Amino acid sequence: MRYDLNLLPVFVALMEERNVTRAAERLRITQPALSNALNRLRETLRDPLFIRERYGMRPTQLAEEMAPMIGAALAQFDDLITGQQDFDPAKATRCFTLAPNSYVEFVLMPSVVARLRERAKGIKLRLVPYGSDLAETGVISGTTEMVFGRIIDPPDNLVVQHLMDDGLACVVRAGHPEISDSISREQYEAMMHVNVLPPGRLRAGLFQALGRQGLKRDVAVSVTHFLAVPEMIAVTDYCATLPRLICRGLARDPRVKVVPAPVDLGTFPVEMAWHVRYRNDPAHRWLRTVITEVAKTVSADVALKA
C-alpha cells in the first residue's frame, strides 16, 4: 500500500497537542486543511485515530501504538537532513524561543546573551514564562526550543541535560543589628522572613530542604520574583533564603549582605530540556553548547567564592 508521507507530521502534531487548533498553528496550516488531512489518515488507516472529548482529543489504541514508530521515523529523517547542514554562528540568523524559570533567567541568561553578542549577533532569543508545568512551556510540542529549570517526570519526547547544581544562602540588611557574618539556627528561626514564590518546582525544593533539616521560618511576606527581595530586605530586619547564585547577584546592592545558611540545606539541580526533533539541529546544538559552557563557568565561579 502507498502512503502519503505528508500526513505523518499531521499525525505527530495531533498526538502531541491533542488539539486541532494548536496542531494547525504549529504546522502553519488552516484548521480545515488539518481536518482534511486527518480525514485522509482515517480513511487510509481505517481507524478514527483521535476521538473528540471535552478537553481535547483522545488517541485511539491504534494511534497510541503507531505514535512511537512514526515519531522515531520522522526524528531519524530530521537527523539525516540537519546533520548534513553546516552551521556558521557568525553568519546565522535565527530566533530561539526559550522558557527559563525565573532563577535561570536571572542567573544564566545575561551571560548567554553576552556570549551571543560576541559570537553570533544574528542569533536572537525570545524568553517566555516557564509556567507551572512542562506542557505550558511549549517544549513538549516543540514550539519552544528549550526549557530550563528542574525537569520532573519528562515525557519520552524530551531530551534532558544536567547543567549545574546550586546551593542556598541567606540575605539580610547590610546594617542588621544582630547579624554579622553568620546566622545561627536560633537567630534564623526567631527572624521574620521574605519568601519567594516563583512558578514551577523551585519553591518546592526550598520547602523540602528546610523540612529535611527541621528548620522553621516565620514568613512575613511572599513575593513573586527575586528582584523584589532586596527592596524588602533593605527596609526591614527580615531574612530571605535564596539560591547562592541569586545571592551573588543581589550582593551587588550595598543595602544587603549575604551570609551562609545556618545549616547545610543541600543543593538542587538545574537542567535543560528540548524536544527530540532538535537533537541534531546544527544551530540548536551550537546554542546548547554555549549554554552548557556558560553554566559551567558561572557555577565554577560561585564555587570558588563560596
Q: What is the pLDDT of residue 81?
A: 61
> Which CATH number fits the domain that encloses residue 63?
1.10.10.10
Identify the sign of the CA torsion 37, 39, 42, 46. negative
**275 and 261 within one domain:** no
Q: What is the mean pLDDT of residues 130-143?
A: 79
Q: What is the pLDDT of residue 304?
A: 47
**104 and 116 within one domain:** yes
**176 and 158 within one domain:** no
Q: Which three cell numbers stand for residue 283?
A: 544551530
CA gap 181, 79 in Å, rounded: 54
**257 and 174 within one domain:** yes
Q: Let me know if 88 is exposed, middle or buried by CB neighbors in 10 A (0-12, 13-18, 19+).
A: exposed
Answer whether residue 244 is part of any domain. Answer: yes
8 Å CB contact between 200 and 132: yes
Residue 279 has pLDDT above 90, yes or no: no
CA gap 170, 209 in Å, rounded: 14
**274 and 258 within one domain:** no
Number of domains in the chain: 3
**241 and 284 within one domain:** no
Q: Which amino acid is located at 48 in the chain?
A: P
Answer whether residue 206 is part of any domain. Answer: yes
**278 and 136 within one domain:** yes
**203 and 60 within one domain:** no
* 268-275 vs 168-173, strand pairing mode: unpaired
Answer whether residue 76 is part of any domain. Answer: yes
Q: What is the pLDDT of residues 173-219, one digit of tens each?
A: 999 999 999 999 999 999 999 998 865 555 566 778 888 888 899 99
Q: What is the pLDDT of residue 142?
A: 79
Q: What is the mean pLDDT of residues 216-227?
A: 92
Residue 250 has pLDDT above 70, yes or no: yes
pTM exceeds cut of 0.85: no
CA gap 99, 102 in Å, rounded: 9
Q: What is the pLDDT of residues 67-88, one digit of tens each?
A: 888 877 777 776 666 555 668 8
Q: Which of 83, 110, 126 is the last residue of a domain?
A: 83
Question: Which domain range does residue 72 map to?
Answer: 5-83
Q: Which of 83, 112, 146 is the last residue of a domain?
A: 83
Q: What is the mean pLDDT of residues 267-280?
A: 88
8 Å CB contact between 203 and 197: yes
Angle between helices 61-83 and 8-17 (to 10 degrees): 120
**103 and 42 within one domain:** no
Q: What is the pLDDT of residue 22?
A: 82
Q: Which of 60, 83, 106 is the last residue of a domain?
A: 83
Answer whether residue 88 is part of any domain. Answer: no
Answer whether residue 247 is part of any domain. Answer: yes
Answer whether residue 260 is part of any domain. Answer: yes
Q: What is the pLDDT of residues 31-71, one digit of tens each?
A: 999 999 999 999 988 999 999 887 678 889 998 888 888 87
Q: Which three cell numbers stand for residue 31?
A: 484548521
> Which CATH number fits the domain that encloses residue 103?
3.40.190.10
Residue 304: how many other CB atoms lie within 10 Å: 6
8 Å CB contact between 131 and 254: no
**48 and 185 within one domain:** no
Q: Which of 108, 263, 242, 250 is nearest to 167 (CA)?
A: 242
Q: What is the pLDDT of residue 97?
A: 95
**75 and 36 within one domain:** yes
CA gap 96, 123 in Å, rounded: 8
Q: What is the mean pLDDT of residues 267-278?
A: 90
The contacts of residue 207 (CB under 8 Å, 6+ apart) are none
**26 and 70 within one domain:** yes
Q: What is the 8-class DSSP label of residue 146?
A: E
Identify the sign of the CA torsion 27, 31, 36, 38. positive
Answer whether residue 54 is part of any domain. Answer: yes
